[in-house]
Amino acid sequence: MMKVKIVLAAILGGVIVTLLTGLISNTPPMLLGATHYGHPFAWLTRLVLAPEYFPWRIDVSTLIADIVIWTLVIGVILFLFWRRKT
């Protein structure tokens, strides 16, 4: 039962951390015309030069990759914490 709680908490934590990294700029130094957000992969882009009607773009594949990475990181931390506690 405890392992199910760890997995669910890791997934929820991964989604929350991924969305929070959407507030941090991750724009490469030589790239002009757009601002990228998200870590470790940029999954949110705001077009600066000539945005059409809605300047925000979400790359679903890198968003899912970020969620997976942060879920794994938080899952390992929670597992180690649980292991040390017992």
Q: How many Cβ atoms sit within 10 Å of the Cβ of residue 19?
A: 16
pTM of the full structure: 0.86
Per the listing, tokens 């991750």 go with 26
For residues 46 and 55, give the distance between their C-alpha atoms in angstroms, rounded to a whole number.
Answer: 5
pLDDT in tens, 17-71: 999 999 998 887 777 788 899 999 999 998 887 667 788 999 999 999 999 999 9
Per the listing, tokens 């507030």 go with 23
Domain locations in the chain as residue ranges: 2-85
Please state at what angle helix 2-21 crosses helix 60-85, rounded to 10 degrees: 140
